[in-house]
Amino acid sequence: MDVTSRLEWHPRLLDPTQGRSVKPRKSGLTMVIDKGLGLHAFEDLLQTSAPYIDLLKIGFGTSPLYPSDLLKQKIQMARQHKIDILPGGTFLEVAIVQKTVPEFFEMVGRLGFTSVEVSDGTIEMERAARNEYIRRSREQGLNVYTEYGKKLWGSTIDVDQLLETVILDVQQGASFVTIEARESGAGVGIFDANGQCKDEELHAIVGQLPDRNQIIWEAPQKQQQVDMLRMLGLSVNLGNIAPQDIYSLEALRRGLRSDTFVHPES
């Protein structure tokens, strides 16, 4: 078939790696953080980028700052494009501290969110409580994304603790575990104060994971994304991607940027 007759790029130009999967994906997930897009900007985002977005997080605790009808519209639009959408984990932490967890879950359901994030980046959370929030979310028909790591500057990763958290969270019903890096990508987790990846620590973690596809690595900076794709493969799950960076990341995944350019064997 002459692909040009249908105004379609040749498959090897669309994806030189020949490895990019389509939604719903089991790996190669891209999680985008929304820090306040208006309805028209959000609609434009989905019109251009929906095939490349698997998960969209309404960042931090910003969900109650929107007019409820507007937020509901955004959620419905994301669902129409088969994008998992959830409030930021910090918002559940606020609900825990404010003793309003039932009210939190009630509104999550009424607004139409498809998922929640269970995290303890700012607060301390006992294992039993973590299990309970995962279970409660699943009972409400929500997908669960948990998060490991503290948001405090200079916080590091305890490999044994991380591995235990991943195993137990998945056993309890979490779909994926996100590794904290904040929206800055510096001075937290596997990134040093300059945003550089701690390669040895990353390899130590990955080498012991039962299933690396269960992990979403927050990597908001371009060089972090490049490093992750080079070290862990083009189908690594990446999170905290800014809306304006979706296309650049997708190009990296497909070998359409020099950083991951595909050189055919001669």
pLDDT tens readout for residues 165-182:
999 999 999 999 998 776
Residue 111 lies in a domain: yes
Predicted local confidence at residue 62, as pLDDT: 97
Domain containing 34 — which CATH number? 3.20.20.70
Predicted local confidence at residue 262, as pLDDT: 76
Residue 142 lies in a domain: yes
Domain range spanning residue 133? 25-252
Predicted local confidence at residue 266, as pLDDT: 40
Predicted local confidence at residue 180, as pLDDT: 79
Type of residue at 20 = R
- In this prediction, the residues of the chain whose per-residue pLDDT falls under 50 are 1, 266
Residue 181 lies in a domain: yes
Query: How many residues are listed for the chain in this entry?
Result: 266
Predicted local confidence at residue 154, as pLDDT: 52
Residue 5 lies in a domain: no
Predicted local confidence at residue 6, as pLDDT: 80
Q: What is the pLDDT of residues 201-218, one digit of tens each?
A: 888 888 888 899 999 999
Using only C-alpha atoms, the chain has a radius of gyration, in whole angstroms, of: 19
Predicted local confidence at residue 33, as pLDDT: 96
Predicted local confidence at residue 196, as pLDDT: 82
Residue 95 lies in a domain: yes
Helix runs in 98-145, H state only: 101-111, 127-139
Give the DSSP letter string of 34-45. ESS--HHHHHHH
> In total, how many domains does the chain have?
1
Residue 260 lies in a domain: no
Type of residue at 33 = I
* Pairwise CA distance, residues 248 & 130, whole Å: 35
pTM of the model: 0.91
Residue 7 lies in a domain: no
* Pairwise CA distance, residues 219 & 204, whole Å: 18
